[in-house]
């Protein structure tokens, strides 16, 4: 397992993502559909959206090109969610992911956001009362915090954090046994660690999709 090595400064800079990452949640949802994971917690959602054309198209693609890291890299290159270079046009995969978001994720976003906010509030309480050590030691059964650093399941070598801290983000659509470490992103400095929330994850559709989400 790769280790994340902290300095005193990078430990002080460790933080919880202040709002949900819609792009990554959409990719996690796609991964869940393509793999059939998530278990009974999201079965109703899977049945509701799996037949929709954007879901059918992308889940077939996701069996060949993995949402992480492949599609994530495409999306970040296209600056989805940020300012794109003048005249730039997103590729077809990014456009398909936008359609997938609007059809399969946005109608459920209100409940998703509330679930993520409850978890975020609980983690912030741990951070205030027990510091970064307490927070990093309580994230996930497979994430181990010690004097040697943070041990995260997955591939890749060790990572030393110097002037940047770790950004920690709860996820609604990550399967319970999975965490995702993103080492670098052009939209935010430093690595990000996503972990699954432990509350009830069965989403119910909102009355309307969020207008203007993800720039669409």
Q: What is the pLDDT of residue 80?
A: 59
Reading the block at residue 93, the tokens are 């995969």
* Mean pLDDT, all residues of the chain: 83
pLDDT in tens, 114-153: 999 999 999 999 999 999 999 999 999 989 999 889 999 8
pLDDT in tens, 44-99: 899 999 999 999 989 988 988 888 888 888 887 776 555 555 555 668 888 899 99
CA angle in degrees (0–180, nearest 5) for 165-166-169: 145
Number of domains in the chain: 1
Pairing state of beta strands 180-182 and 149-151?
A: unpaired
Sequence-separated (6 or more) residues with CB below 8 Å from residue 216 = 98, 101, 102
Q: What is the pLDDT of residue 213?
A: 29
Lowest mean pLDDT among 48-57, 177-186, 198-207: 198-207
Residue 198 has pLDDT above 80, yes or no: no
Query: In the predicted model, what is the mean pLDDT of residues 174-189?
Result: 79
Q: What is the pLDDT of residue 158?
A: 87
Closest alpha carbon to 132 in 8, 11, 1, 31: 11
Phi, psi of 123, rounded to the nearest 5 degrees:
-70, -35
Q: Which domain holds residue 9?
A: 3-83+90-215
Neighbours of 87 (CB within 10 A): 5
Question: What is the percent of the chain where pLDDT is above 90?
Answer: 50
Q: What is the pLDDT of residue 163?
A: 78
Residue with tokens 């470490």: 181
């Amino acid at each position: 397992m790769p280790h994340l090595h902290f300095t005193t400064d990078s430990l002080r800079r460790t933080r919880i993502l202040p709002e949900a990452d819609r792009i990554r949640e959409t990719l996690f949802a796609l991964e869940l559909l393509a793999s059939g994971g998530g278990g009974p917690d999201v079965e109703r959602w899977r049945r509701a959206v799996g037949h929709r054309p954007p879901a059918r198209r992308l889940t077939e693609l996701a069996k060949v090109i993995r949402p992480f890291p492949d599609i994530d890299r495409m999306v970040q290159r296209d600056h989805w969610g940020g300012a794109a270079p003048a005249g730039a046009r997103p590729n077809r995969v990014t456009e398909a992911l936008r359609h997938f978001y609007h059809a399969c994720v946005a109608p459920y976003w209100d409940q998703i956001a509330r679930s993520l906010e409850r978890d975020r509030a609980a983690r912030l309480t741990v951070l205030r009362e027990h510091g970064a050590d307490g927070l990093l030691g309580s994230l996930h059964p497979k994430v181990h915090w010690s004097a040697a650093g943070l041990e995260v399941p997955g591939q890749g070598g060790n990572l030393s954090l110097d002037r940047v801290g770790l950004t920690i983000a709860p996820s609604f659509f990550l399967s319970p046994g999975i965490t995702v470490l993103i080492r670098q992103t052009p939209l935010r400095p430093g690595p990000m660690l996503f972990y699954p929330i432990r509350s009830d994850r069965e989403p119910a559709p909102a009355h309307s999709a969020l207008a203007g989400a993800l720039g669409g």
